[in-house]
């Protein structure tokens, strides 16, 4: 339902008991655009301050009269952020854990959802409920027992000293996926069974049916699930913080927070440059796939 701009302000004024019964169309249009501009500024000013800080030399930051935009923009902060710390290894750690973690999640979401919809199994519903219930258990409240599990897990002798401070230790506990499975299951159920049966008649087993029929049809939902997994893994903070013990194994979100100086002598230019490097991949993903992300997030809410 579309509200006229006028209605919005009548509602707003009524809320605050302002005795204006008739707001003219023009005035309300102007007020509408003014509020929208205010909202846009509220979100973009912090981002603007981040970009401008990343481009400033120290003397333009550590001054009583800083300007909004640098007088002499420089890329020097980026060079220093990347070279003065083991930034390369932070970046590689983030890329490896994100790509493998997200890939594992997407593959398992696809195969699990397929099994739940198209493969006959006596306890299918029980498995579904088990996965759904896992959505209710936030990672934060089980970090300590999981830490103990990972510390003592050798993974069949592959990690004789336990999996702390290893990629496997970062990735494995978060590799299972409930929300994406749920999302794909809903989508798979809308695929006409004729399509799947036709593949069966042609002699395709479950593997081929999944790859050649279901995956191509369900691409939008798979993209949604992949985007959500990617951003969640890239941004993850708590688990990698706990499970990594050396600087060499840190991921980017943890590394940038460690650039802050406890004594208050933080080099803001470098910190902002590093922060930009961390958020740019996600911004790109968001720009190209925001419809998928927003749909995925709104999916569970409104349809209820």
Partner 1 sequence: MTKAFRRDWREWLVFLAFAGPNVLLFAIFTYYPLFRNFVLAFQDYNIFTNEGEWVGLDNFKRFFADPSTNKVFENTLVFTASVVALILAFGLLAALLLNQKLKFRNPVRSLLFSPTVLAGSAVAVVWIYIFDHRYGLFYQVLRPFNIPAPHWLLDPNWAMAGLIMVYVWKNLGYATVIYIAGLQAIPNELYEAARVDGANAWDRFRHITIPGLSPVTFFLMVTSILNSFQAFDIIRVMTHGGPVNATNVLIYRLYELGFETNADYGKVAVMGVLLFVIMFVVTLFQLRYLERRVSYS
Contacts of 281 by beta carbon, 8 Å cutoff, 6+ apart: 234
Under rule CB under 8 A, residue 96 binds partner 1: no
- Under rule CB under 8 A, which residues in 213-252 are in contact with partner 1? 231, 234-235, 237-238, 241-242, 252
- Under rule CB under 8 A, which residues in 73-92 are in contact with partner 1? none
Under rule CB under 8 A, residue 302 binds partner 1: yes
What tokens were used for 203?
């002699």
Under rule CB under 8 A, residue 112 binds partner 1: yes
Shortest distance in whole angstroms from residue 239 CB to partner 1: 10
CB 130 within 8 A of CB 258: no
Residue 176 C-beta-side C-alpha neighbours within 13 Å:
9
Shortest distance in whole angstroms from residue 248 CB to partner 1: 19
Taking the C-alpha atoms of residue 234 and residue 278, their distance in angstroms, rounded to an integer, is 9
Residue selected from 55, 102, 106, 178 as contacting partner 1 according to rule CB under 8 A: 178
Under rule CB under 8 A, residue 293 binds partner 1: yes
Under rule CB under 8 A, residue 49 binds partner 1: yes
Under rule CB under 8 A, residue 193 binds partner 1: no
Buried b or exposed e, range 230-240, using 16+ CB within 10 angstroms: bbbbbebeebb
Shortest distance in whole angstroms from residue 107 CB to partner 1: 9
Under rule CB under 8 A, residue 160 binds partner 1: no
Three-state DSSP class for residue 107: helix
Contacts of 124 by beta carbon, 8 Å cutoff, 6+ apart: 115, 116
Residue selected from 20, 75, 129, 148 as contacting partner 1 according to rule CB under 8 A: 148
């Amino acid at each position: 339902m579309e509200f006229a701009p006028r209605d919005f302000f009548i509602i707003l004024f009524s809320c605050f008991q302002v005795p204006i019964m008739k707001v003219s169309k023009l005035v309300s249009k102007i007020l509408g655009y003014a509020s929208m501009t205010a909202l846009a500024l509220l979100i973009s000013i912090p981002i603007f301050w981040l970009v401008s800080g990343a481009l400033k030399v120290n003397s333009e930051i550590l001054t009583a009269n800083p300007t909004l935009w640098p007088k002499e923009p420089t890329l020097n902060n980026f060079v220093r952020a990347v070279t003065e710390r083991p930034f390369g290894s932070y970046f590689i750690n983030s890329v490896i854990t994100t790509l493998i973690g997200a890939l594992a999640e997407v593959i398992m979401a696809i195969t699990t959802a397929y099994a739940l919809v198209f493969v006959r199994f006596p306890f299918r519903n029980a498995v579904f409920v088990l996965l759904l219930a896992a959505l209710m258990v936030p990672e934060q409240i089980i970090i300590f027992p999981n830490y103990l599990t990972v510390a003592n897990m050798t993974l069949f002798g592959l990690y004789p000293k336990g999996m702390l401070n290893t990629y496997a230790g970062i990735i494995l506990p978060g590799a299972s996926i409930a929300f994406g499975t749920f999302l794909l299951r809903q989508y798979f159920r809308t695929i006409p069974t004729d399509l799947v049966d036709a593949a069966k008649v042609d002699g395709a087993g479950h593997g081929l049916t999944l790859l050649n029929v279901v995956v191509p049809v369900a691409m939008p939902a798979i993209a949604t699930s992949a985007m959500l997994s990617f951003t969640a893994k890239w941004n993850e903070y708590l688990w990698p913080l706990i499970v990594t013990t050396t600087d060499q194994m840190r991921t980017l979100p943890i590394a940038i927070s460690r650039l802050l100086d406890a004594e208050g002598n933080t080099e803001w230019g470098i910190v902002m440059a590093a922060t930009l490097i961390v958020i740019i991949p996600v911004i790109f993903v968001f720009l190209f796939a925001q419809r998928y992300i927003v749909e995925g997030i709104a999916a569970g809410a409104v349809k209820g």
